[in-house]
Amino acid sequence: MTVPKTSVLVLDCAEPEALARFYASLLGARTAPAGGDPDLLLVAGPSGTVLGIRRDPDRVPPSWPLPDGPEQPHLRILVEPDALDEAEREAVALGARPLAVDTPTADPAGRTTHRRYADPAGHAFVLAAAGRPPAGARAR
């Protein structure tokens, strides 16, 4: 018999309260303490997504994307293709910092399909177009 499990991506930072507020606002989620660990907050979204934010006063933000290496692990936030511009405005207004990209990826209509950012604590995340295909596109 397999023991029931769940998984949570945990981001470390010096100020978990501020970062939890950032992600709660960005995701339309709520925050709550993680029972038993005073340094861990949980951000729970309406879609069932749970993100942990843990206090680590010694954490140093990564450099991402690395100029000579692959992408590092990152959070990918999916939005409708037509909502990518609005999602970007929300993220930047909340404190996200756009990350330079050498080669943007576009869909058949020429729209950018994903955009990279750093959250206020320096963690990488991507806003990515997902959901229904653009009008006139055929599934393959």
Position 104 scores a pLDDT of 59
Residues of the chain with CATH 3.30.720.120: 1-58
pLDDT in tens, 93-133: 999 999 876 555 666 666 678 899 999 999 989 999 886 54
CA triple 112-132-96, angle to 5 deg: 45
Rounded to whole angstroms, the Cα distance separating 36 from 123 reads 25
Tens-place pLDDT, residues 11-60: 999 999 999 999 999 999 999 998 889 999 999 988 888 999 999 998 88
Range 61-140 classified under CATH 3.30.720.110:
yes
Cβ atoms within 10 Å, residue 42: 19
CATH 3.30.720.110 boundaries in the chain: 61-140
Query: What token pair was written down for 112?
Result: 């950018």
Q: What is the pLDDT of residue 103?
A: 57
CATH of domain 1-58: 3.30.720.120
